[in-house]
Structure 1
Amino acid sequence: MADDGSGHEMSTRRKCMKYCGVVASGGFLAGCTGNSDSDSEPEESPTPTESGEGNTEPTPTGESTATSTETTEKAFSASMPPIGELTLEEPPASWVGGFGFTADLLTALGQGDGAVGMVDPRFWYQGFYDFLDGVSVPEAADLPQITTTDRDTDMEVVYDLEPDLMAIDPNILLAAYGLEKAEAKRIRESVAPWFGNGSRRKRFDGWTTWPGGESYSYVSLPEYIPKYAALFGEEERGEALLDLYEPFIEDIRSRVPQESERRSMALVNGRYNPENRDGWVVYNPKSAVEKTWGKKQYRDLNVVDAFEGAYGGQSSTKVGFEGLLEYDPDVIIFNFGITYRDFQGVNLIQKQRELLQNHPVGSEVTAIKNDDVYVGGTPYQGPIINMFQTEMAAKQLYPDEFGSYPGYGQLSESEQLFDRQRLADIVNGDI
């Protein structure tokens, strides 16, 4: 690999044949050519006081070929902002992920065993894999974390892991975890290329745009699948996954009741108020940007938001018991609820449910009176998690159409809204 003018050779075990990033707005090349660094900024904070969503960009270049003097060898190539085009000689055997989205997506493509580290593995929810025959992944708790409690990026850990791919948008670390642009460049040249796109939620003002220096488009969950499939040489599996995923989502959308028959919901922070400190943080369940995937199930279910108009242009609002009763949702769903059912040994969801039930005002809220208070999903949802969480939310909100929600756990086959066995077969390579 040519020197990028910084004195650092790209020494990744699986070196790039070509590593050129073309930013969607045009013109800028990164990687093997000289590169200028730009702004700096933050996003994917795992502190669960968030919301989220986004926009798009070109589809992957797909499989390409590199011709030598005598043979034609397969190359593994895909394109995604902000990095642009990335071509590898071999599919990555090991990777570092973010908070769970790319980990779930790569698991769906049969690459879960390649995980060697994450930005914060506590937020890779793995419970749904228990319902898929033969699907196993590395224990999240055993994966090294590449960030510190002081919200810095631990460069030493990154170097020690020596992954083949940094399956992360580097701007997440630049914005929220103290990574410097020079360090991001050094990782790209001396450890592994970056490949990821921060599209969980709308990016806030000041979001960094390295390496191109210009704003870049969002990538939806279905658009992500063929990009990573091409880079890992899993195009057939990616197509099979989309053939299962997209009809399932379309079927759900087509069956959503008309608006007058939809129950209203409040999406409440699952971690904020178990000790009754100063109210309830309620999120706008609608996506601020269409392509983002953090609250995708609520967008697909076309939910009626009990707090619509209460956010004042923000992604959330805070109310007391009286405010909760004023807006009076039919259903309360605790965001991140599956994560906070057992977080560091405490069931934060049950504590908040009991707090509402035992309060003279809280107990008058319709959702509490009717016991329509539910565990919600994690925003860090790739295709596997999103299918389970869309099914879960559909039953919680529209039981007359989709069947009642029996609580978290295994549904009988007649209650399931998608084919678990087919999904397991795809993950396991039985395409």
Structure 2
Amino acid sequence: MTHDRRRFLGLTGAALAGGLAGCAGGDGTPTESATATDGGTAAPTDTSYTVSMAPAGDVTLDTVPESVAHYFPDYGDMAVALGHGDSINSMGLPSRYHTGHYDELDGVSVDKESMTALVGDAGISKEVFYELESDLHMIDPQWLIHNGAFKLAEEDITEISEGVAPFFGNAIFRRTDKWHDYRYYTLYEAFEKVATVYGETETFESLQSFHDEYIAEVQTNLPSADSRPNALLCFGASNEPEEFYPYRLTDKGSNKKAFRDLGIGDALSDTGIEGLSESERGTIDYETMLEVDPDSILLRGHEGKSREEFENTVLEFMKNDDVASELTAVQNDMVFRGGPIYPGPLHHLFLVERFATGYFPESFSGELFDRDELASIITE
């Protein structure tokens, strides 16, 4: 259809329920309640609204938050998508918040330089939360309690919640942490919660529709399932990598969504090799990779590189290594940057395009979606 071809370009070839409570409006946006005065005029009495998300549960806000502490870049990407990027006052590690995709969206940007890093040389200090004086901490509190060396005590979380602002968030990027024994959310389930916080449910619904139509169009043009390669996803940030932390594509975390959307299989299925988590830090080497011999390799830790820079450093090194050069993926140039650890909804759209054109060049080329239409949803 003409409308779809304009929107989606470049297709060539073949632990609580997430309801609203309190004074939230029926569409999930904050509302004012009013009572009549003796003079017969209405005066606002309450603008509060309640949102709910595991593990924090119900959180009541007086107004839409203007200053929000973030740890995860995926939630930051959600805020930007909803037109509230200027509310982000912090990030766990700002260097992990990849923002280059905003450059392709007219009028969409975020000031990463102004964000405070929550993780310092000595880990995370509760004092930084007092210094920020946020209206809301859009962070999974259990992540802060269990985050390896960079963690806070449970009593610190309680103190910050009561003395500064509540926590509201859920670690959705992976599903391999044993401590995460409460409800998980998909990328768009979490995104809808964030939209409720910001009172932007209409924008969310437009972005969800854009996503759904885009993914459906891409999937219509995918090769048959038996023609799609499997992939070994791992982390190895060196330009001359020799040791890797494996991930599992079968994990339903949000940072695997682009691969699931494209039907790329997990090369580690039935191998006994587990995925990266806070409790599992095992590594693999080229000898182990060769036993699996995946069709393709997705290597995380290289989002600062272009495809050409990646090929001239990492892939070139692998081609010159005695063992790595025997890998089918290396011989066929099927080694790719593996994407960010914390992709949000906007970043995900660009990743689907990147992996679709990289894996299936006979079916996809160029830009697969309309940047102007996406930007207009965000900025209008």
Cross-structure match for 1:306: 267
Cross-structure match for 2:221: 255
SS, match of residue 332 in structure 1? strand
Q: Does structure 2 conserve the Cα–Cα contact (< 8 Å) formed by 1:337 and 1:349?
A: no
Distance 2:86 2:360 in 1: 36
Long gaps (5+) in structure 1: 1-22, 25-56, 208-214, 404-414
Name the aligned partner's letter for residue 107 of structure 1. Answer: V
Cross-structure match for 1:400: 362
Cross-structure match for 2:368: 417
**1:364: how far off?**
3.0
Count of aligned residue pairs for this structure pair: 345
Question: Of residues 251, 255, 270 in structure 2, which corresponds to 1:294?
Answer: 255
Distance 1:122 1:167 in 2: 18
Distance 1:418 1:276 in 2: 34
Q: Does structure 1 conserve the Cα–Cα contact (< 8 Å) formed by 2:295 and 2:328?
A: yes
Structure 1-normalised TM-score?
0.73
Distance 2:178 2:185 in 1: 18
SS, match of residue 392 in structure 1? helix
SS, match of residue 325 in structure 1? helix
**1:261: how far off?**
0.8
Cross-structure match for 1:146: 118
**1:65: how far off?**
4.2
Distance 1:110 1:276 in 2: 39
Cross-structure match for 1:172: 143
**1:103: how far off?**
0.4
Name the aligned partner's letter for residue 164 of structure 1. Answer: D
Structure 2-normalised TM-score?
0.82
Long gaps (5+) in structure 2: 1-14, 22-27, 37-42
Residue by residue over 1:225-271, the C-alpha shift from the partner in whole angstroms, topping out at 9 and shown as x without a partner, is 22211211112211111111122223333433222211232223231
Cross-structure match for 1:391: 353
Residue by residue over 1:124-157, the C-alpha shift from the partner in whole angstroms, topping out at 9 and shown as x without a partner, is 1111111111111012x44211222233x22222
Residue by residue over 1:23-45, the C-alpha shift from the partner in whole angstroms, topping out at 9 and shown as x without a partner, is 52xxxxxxxxxxxxxxxxxxxxx
Q: Does structure 2 conserve the Cα–Cα contact (< 8 Å) formed by 1:80 and 1:197?
A: yes
**1:393: how far off?**
1.3
Residue by residue over 1:35-90, the C-alpha shift from the partner in whole angstroms, topping out at 9 and shown as x without a partner, is xxxxxxxxxxxxxxxxxxxxxx5355523546353345554432211122223221
Report the RMSD for the aligned CA atoms in angstroms: 2.5
Residue by residue over 1:77-120, the C-alpha shift from the partner in whole angstroms, topping out at 9 and shown as x without a partner, is 32211122223221001111113011001000001011111222
Identity in percent? 32
Q: Does structure 1 conserve the Cα–Cα contact (< 8 Å) formed by 2:78 and 2:346?
A: yes
Cross-structure match for 2:249: 285
Name the aligned partner's letter for residue 376 of structure 2. Answer: D
Distance 1:81 1:174 in 2: 15
Cross-structure match for 1:364: 326
Name the aligned partner's letter for residue 392 of structure 1. Answer: R
**1:398: how far off?**
2.0
Cross-structure match for 2:64: 91
